[in-house]
C-alpha cells in the first residue's frame, strides 16, 4: 500500500465519579436503580427548573487540565449547545464552548508529543437503549434519563496521532492518568467514550462517534484507513460525515453528514454564573495533585532497579496493578522476579480471561508463593508458567496447587523415581554398568520426563551413579 498522510485527533468523554450530577443533586452513579427513577426536574429539563454547578466536577476538570499540562483559564462559563435528539430533553446540552476550563496542554509519548486542545466539563445526555439492533438498524429505542446530567469531562486532542495504534496507547495512558487522579472509575460501564476524527491525504475529515473500548477505537480507525484508501484508489471523494463503528462486524457505517460547530448555535447559559478560577484556588488544587503514572513509573524504576519500559507496562496497566506490584515486593523482596512474572505471565493470563487485577482472584500474598517456589528451585519455570493459568482461574494458593499435583518433589521422591527407572529399564542400566555414556543420557532423559523436569540433569546423574554403584 502506498504511503498515506494520516491525520487523527480524538475527543474523549469521561464520566466523572462525583457523588451528584453536573447541575442537580441526583446521584451520578445510580447503580441498578430503575430506569428513569434517578431524575429530577433539572436533569429532565422541565421548564422553570434551575441548574446549579457541581463545584467538585469543576475541580476535577482543573485537576485533569493540570495533569495534561494545560493552561487553566481564570474565567470560565457554560453555554447551551442546541440540537434536537431524544436523549436531550431540553433540546440543548449544557457544556463549555467559548472558554473551557483548560487549554493548550500535551501528553508526551516517547518522542511524540500529542497536543491537548482543551478540557471542559459538561452534562451527559440520557442513555439510548436500542431494541433489536444498533443505532443504524434498531426497531425501537428506549431512553433512560438516569444518565442525563452525569458530569463529563471532554478532552480534545490535536490531530497529532500517527497511527491507530498510537491512539490506543494514548487512551491507555490517559485512562491511567484519570484513574490516578481519582476522577473516574474505569470499571464503570461506558465510562470512557471516544469520538475519533480521521482524514487522509488532505481529504475531508470523517468522525467515528461513540466508540467504547480502546481496542475498538484502534479497529475502527484501521477500518477507516482501509475504506478511505480504497475510495481514493477508485477516485471517489471521501465525504465529511459522522460514522458509527459496529464492534461485532468491526466496520463503520455512515450515520449523517457531519455538522459544523457553528450549526449548534451555542449561546451563553443565562441560568448559570461565570466561574472564576483564581490563582490561589488553582494552586490549592495543584497541591492536592497525587503521584501520577509517569512519576510512579520513574520512581518504581529507580527504587526497584527496574527497566523503565517494564515499569511503564506495570503502571499503565492501571493503578491497582502498580499497587499489586509494590505490595508483593513488600511481602517477598525480589522486585525483578515479581515484575518479570507480572509482565510476562500474570498480565497475559488476566488479559486472556478479560479480567483486571482488581476484580480477579489474584492476591499479592499468594502470587509471591509462585515466584518464591521458582527462586528456590522447588518448581521449574516451565511448570510455573502452567501454574499461573490455574492460579488465575481459581485463586488457589500456587503452593497448594503444586502440592496437589505432587510436583513439589523432595529428594526422596526423586531417588524413588530414579530407582524405579533403573529397574524398569534393565537393558539401559546394564549398559550403564558396563560404562556406556549413551545409556546415562537415556536414563537421565527418562527421569526428566517422569519428574516433569522437577529435578535437574546433574542431580539425576548423581543419583544414578550412586544407585548403579550400589547395585554392582
Which residues would be at the binding site for Mn ion (CB under 5 A)?
154
**Cα 48–Cα 49–Cα 54 angle in degrees, nearest 5:** 150
SS (H, E, C) 105-156: EEEEECCEEEEEEEEEEEECCCEEEEECCCCCCCCEEEEECCCCCCEEEEEE
- b vs e for 42-64, b when ≥16 Cβ sit within 10 Å of the residue's Cβ? bbbbeeeeebeebebbbbbbbbb
- Measured from the CB atom, the residue of 210 and 301 that comes closer to Mn ion is 210
Q: What 3-state DSSP class applies to 330?
A: helix
Minimum CB distance to Mn ion, residue 275 (Å): 18
| C-alpha to C-alpha distance for 337 and 348, rounded to whole angstroms | 16
| C-alpha to C-alpha distance for 75 and 73, rounded to whole angstroms | 6
- Measured from the CB atom, the residue of 120 and 219 that comes closer to Mn ion is 120
Q: Contact 275/76 with Cβ under 8 angstroms?
A: yes
Minimum CB distance to Mn ion, residue 23 (Å): 15
Q: Contact 369/334 with Cβ under 8 angstroms?
A: no
49's grid cell? 427548573
Residue located via cell numbers 466561574: 275
- The rounded Cα 300 to chain-centroid distance in angstroms is 19
Minimum CB distance to Mn ion, residue 152 (Å): 7
- Measured from the CB atom, the residue of 94 and 407 that comes closer to Mn ion is 94
Minimum CB distance to Mn ion, residue 13 (Å): 6
| C-alpha to C-alpha distance for 43 and 146, rounded to whole angstroms | 9
Minimum CB distance to Mn ion, residue 102 (Å): 15
- Measured from the CB atom, the residue of 210 and 251 that comes closer to Mn ion is 210
Residue, CB closest to Mn ion: 154
For residue 295, is it left (φ>0), alpha (ψ between -120 and 50) or beta?
alpha
- Measured from the CB atom, the residue of 154 and 369 that comes closer to Mn ion is 154
Q: What does each C-alpha distance from 319 to 14, 353, 387 come to in angstroms?
A: 17, 19, 25
- Measured from the CB atom, the residue of 159 and 457 that comes closer to Mn ion is 159
Minimum CB distance to Mn ion, residue 69 (Å): 21
Report strand pairing: 6-15 vs 251-257.
Answer: unpaired
- The count of residues in the chain is 472
Minimum CB distance to Mn ion, residue 54 (Å): 16
Minimum CB distance to Mn ion, residue 59 (Å): 19
- Measured from the CB atom, the residue of 151 and 164 that comes closer to Mn ion is 151
List the end-to-end C-alpha distance of the chain, in Å, as a whole number.
73
- Measured from the CB atom, the residue of 122 and 160 that comes closer to Mn ion is 122
Minimum CB distance to Mn ion, residue 195 (Å): 8
- Measured from the CB atom, the residue of 124 and 218 that comes closer to Mn ion is 124
Minimum CB distance to Mn ion, residue 26 (Å): 20
- Measured from the CB atom, the residue of 11 and 29 that comes closer to Mn ion is 11
Q: Contact 294/150 with Cβ under 8 angstroms?
A: no
Amino acid at each position: 500500500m502506498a504511503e498515506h498522510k494520516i491525520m487523527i485527533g480524538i475527543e474523549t468523554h469521561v464520566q466523572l465519579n462525583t457523588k451528584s450530577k453536573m447541575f442537580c443533586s441526583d446521584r451520578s452513579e445510580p447503580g441498578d436503580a430503575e430506569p428513569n427513577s434517578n431524575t429530577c426536574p433539572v436533569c429532565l429539563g422541565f421548564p422553570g427548573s434551575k441548574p446549579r454547578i457541581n463545584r467538585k466536577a469543576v475541580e476535577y476538570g482543573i485537576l485533569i487540565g493540570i495533569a495534561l499540562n494545560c493552561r487553566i483559564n481564570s474565567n470560565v462559563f457554560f453555554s447551551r449547545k442546541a440540537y434536537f435528539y431524544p436523549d436531550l430533553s431540553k433540546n440543548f446540552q449544557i457544556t463549555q464552548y467559548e472558554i473551557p476550563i483548560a487549554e493548550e496542554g500535551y501528553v508526551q509519548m516517547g518522542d511524540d508529543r500529542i497536543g491537548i486542545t482543551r478540557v471542559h466539563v459538561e452534562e451527559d445526555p440520557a442513555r439510548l437503549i436500542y431494541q433489536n439492533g444498533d443505532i443504524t438498524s434498531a426497531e425501537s429505542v428506549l431512553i433512560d434519563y438516569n444518565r442525563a446530567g452525569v458530569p463529563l469531562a471532554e478532552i480534545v486532542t490535536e490531530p497529532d496521532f500517527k497511527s491507530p495504534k498510537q491512539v490506543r496507547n494514548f487512551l491507555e495512558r490517559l485512562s491511567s492518568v484519570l484513574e490516578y487522579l481519582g476522577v473516574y472509575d474505569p470499571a464503570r460501564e461506558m465510562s470512557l467514550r471516544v469520538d475519533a476524527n480521521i482524514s487522509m491525504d488532505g481529504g475531508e475529515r470523517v468522525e467515528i462517534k461513540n466508540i467504547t473500548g480502546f481496542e475498538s477505537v484502534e479497529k475502527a480507525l484501521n477500518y477507516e484507513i482501509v475504506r478511505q484508501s480504497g475510495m481514493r484508489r477508485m477516485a471517489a471523494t471521501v465525504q465529511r460525515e459522522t460514522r458509527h463503528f459496529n464492534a461485532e462486524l468491526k466496520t463503520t457505517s455512515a450515520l449523517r453528514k457531519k455538522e459544523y460547530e457553528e450549526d449548534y448555535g451555542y449561546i451563553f447559559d443565562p441560568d448559570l454564573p461565570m466561574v472564576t478560577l483564581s490563582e490561589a484556588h488553582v494552586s490549592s488544587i495543584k497541591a492536592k495533585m497525587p503521584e501520577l503514572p509517569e512519576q510512579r513509573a520513574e520512581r518504581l524504576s529507580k527504587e526497584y532497579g527496574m527497566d523503565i519500559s517494564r515499569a511503564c507496562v506495570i503502571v499503565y496497566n492501571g493503578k491497582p496493578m502498580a499497587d499489586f506490584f509494590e505490595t508483593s515486593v513488600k511481602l517477598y523482596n525480589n522486585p525483578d522476579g515479581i515484575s518479570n512474572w507480572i509482565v510476562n505471565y500474570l498480565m497475559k493470563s488476566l488479559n486472556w480471561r478479560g479480567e483486571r487485577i482488581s476484580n480477579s482472584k489474584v492476591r499479592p500474598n499468594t502470587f509471591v508463593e509462585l515466584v518464591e517456589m521458582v527462586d528456590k528451585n522447588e518448581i521449574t519455570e516451565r511448570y510455573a508458567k502452567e501454574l499461573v493459568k490455574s492460579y488465575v482461574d481459581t485463586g488457589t494458593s500456587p503452593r497448594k496447587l503444586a502440592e496437589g499435583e505432587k510436583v513439589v518433589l523432595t529428594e526422596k521422591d526423586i531417588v524413588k523415581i530414579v530407582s524405579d527407572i533403573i529397574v524398569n529399564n534393565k537393558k539401559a542400566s546394564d549398559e550403564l554398568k558396563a560404562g556406556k555414556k549413551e545409556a546415562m543420557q537415556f536414563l537421565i532423559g527418562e527421569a526428566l520426563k517422569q519428574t516433569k523436569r522437577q529435578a535437574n540433569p546433574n542431580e539425576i546423574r548423581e543419583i544414578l551413579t550412586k544407585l548403579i554403584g550400589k547395585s554392582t
